[in-house]
Structures are given as structure tokens and as C-alpha cells.
A = this chain, B = another copy of it.
Amino acid sequence: MRPEDIPVVRNLPLFADMDDRRFDELVKAALLQTFPPQVDLIREGDPADFLYVLVEGAVELYAGHNGRETTMAVIEPTSAFILAAVLNDAVFLMSARTFLPSRVMMIPNEHIRRCFAEDKAFAAAVVAELSQAYRQLVKQHKEIKLRLAAERLANYLLRQSQARGDPTHFKLPAGKGTIAALLGMTPENLSRAFGALSAYGVRVRGGSIHIDDAALLADFAKPTPLIDGVEEIYERRGVKSIGP
């Protein structure tokens, strides 16, 4: 484990309030591995032996069934993923692959579960993280059931433009194929949806998005905090998490 990574992980909401000694134990038990792009980290159906923390790079959570495949989430540093599977001591429901060169910390399942049982602050952080992940997923599920493809894209673009610095200009965090799957459509359909949004001031140049007039786009997108809102229990120091 590179020493400069430790404070970054330490500052994650999940670990920030935990006992010092216990955190050191976690770190000692953890593996830190570096992976090239397009490597499968976990496969749905496998037992959840480790909690994963993405320290650097980017990871896609995806799931397949019966010849089809879809993206469930795009993870950016620094954040933990597949926490629920570990706590439940169950199999993964999603697969994960890097799509950039990535550094990943892997903490053995039993350590997480022991910390949870013994460290009150950690337990509280786990609940906060879980309930937030749950609510995030409720929003995703509402979105896919209540919005058409072009509306999903429009709102996604608005959310991204808020989450990243400049509200008028940003880069997509993944290739368009992945974004399409995340938003529950085919790449072809995403292209056409972008075409439809040009009427509302959306300019696309490769992975670069420019939004001429957020109010005009919002007029079409009809965002609502009950689907598009970002919630933070903690102050999130240095944490970014990219949902759809």
C-alpha cells in the first residue's frame, strides 16, 4: 500500500470516524492492487470475499443475463463499492471491470464484518453509506420507470453538469456505449437522443458536452430532487461518486 493513499482512504465517509487502531488493522489486512483497463475485478455470482475501494482510475459495475448486458453504475475515486454483498456475506449481484488503469484496495470480508460489530462509529458510517446507496438506487429505478430515453439523457447531462465544476461544459465519465447502457438504452438510441437534445442547446463533440442554456434543457428534462437530487449525510471530503 502506497503511504500517500492511506489518508485518501481514511477520509472516506465510511472510514473517517473509525478508531485509529482499527483502521490500521484494516489497512494492514488489505491488498492494494493495480489493474490495467478492461480487467474484470469481480464476477456476479462469486462470493463477496472482499470489500473494494477504488483509489484511482474508474470502474464499471455491470450485470448480464440471458445474452443481454447492462451497466449498473460508474464508480470514480475515491469510493467503496459492493458493500451490501460483503455485509450480507452473500454473492455479488453485479460484476465489476476497470475501464481505466486503476488502483483498488481490497479489504477482506471478515475484517469489515468484525469492524462493524466492534466499532460503533464504523457501524454508523456503514448504515449511512448503505441507506444512501439504497436511496440512490430508488432514484435510478424511478428514473427508468418514469422517464423516456431522451428525458433520462437530458437529466443525466444536467446532473453531470452540476456535479462537475463548470455547469456549461464537461466530459463524459465513460464512453458513450457505457453511458447508453447506464441509462438503459442502446448506443444507437443514445445518438438519436443527443440529436433530439440539440434542439435544447446540447452540443456534443466526442466525449465533450456543452450546454448552452441549462434552463432551456431543464425545461425539457423536468428534473426533480426526488429523482435527481444528491444527498449527503456527511461532508464528503474529496469523495466523488458518479451515478447515472
Which residues of A line the B interface, CB within 8 A? Answer: 44-45, 63-66, 68-70, 72, 83-85, 87-88, 90-91, 93-94, 116-117, 120, 123-124, 126-128, 130-135, 137-142, 144-147, 184, 222, 224-227, 231, 233
Q: Is the interface of A mostly helix, strand, loop or mixed?
A: helix
Minimum CB–CB distance for A46 against chain B, Å: 11
Once bound together, how far apart are the Cα atoms of A183 and B128, in whole Å?
29
Once bound together, how far apart are the Cα atoms of A221 and B36, in whole Å?
37
Contact yes or no, A138 B137, CB < 8 A: yes
**Interfacial chain B residues near A69, Cβ < 8 Å:** 146
**Interfacial chain B residues near A124, Cβ < 8 Å:** 116-117, 123
Contact yes or no, B227 A145, CB < 8 A: no
In the A-B complex, the 3 residue pairs with the closest CB atoms: A84-B131, A70-B145, A84-B134
**Interfacial chain B residues near A128, Cβ < 8 Å:** 87-88
**Interfacial chain B residues near A144, Cβ < 8 Å:** 141, 144-145
Question: Which partner residue on chain B sits nearest A224 by CB separation?
Answer: B65
Number of copies of this kind of chain in the complex: 2
Minimum CB–CB distance for A103 against chain B, Å: 26
**Interfacial chain B residues near A139, Cβ < 8 Å:** 93
Once bound together, how far apart are the Cα atoms of A140 and B131, in whole Å?
17
CB < 8 Å neighbour of A146 from B45, B66, B131, B142: B66
Once bound together, how far apart are the Cα atoms of A94 and B137, in whole Å?
12
Contact yes or no, B137 A127, CB < 8 A: no
**Interfacial chain B residues near A68, Cβ < 8 Å:** 146
**Interfacial chain B residues near A131, Cβ < 8 Å:** 83-84, 87-88, 130
Question: Which partner residue on chain B sits nearest A93 by CB separation?
Answer: B138
Contact yes or no, B227 A135, CB < 8 A: no
**Interfacial chain B residues near A184, Cβ < 8 Å:** 145
Once bound together, how far apart are the Cα atoms of A120 and B133, in whole Å?
22
**Interfacial chain B residues near A44, Cβ < 8 Å:** 226
Minimum CB–CB distance for A241 against chain B, Å: 15
Beyond A66-B224, A137-B141, list 20 extra A-B contacts (CB 8 Å).
A45-B225, A64-B146, A65-B224, A65-B227, A66-B147, A83-B131, A84-B130, A84-B134, A84-B135, A87-B131, A88-B131, A88-B233, A93-B139, A93-B226, A123-B123, A126-B127, A130-B131, A130-B134, A137-B138, A145-B184
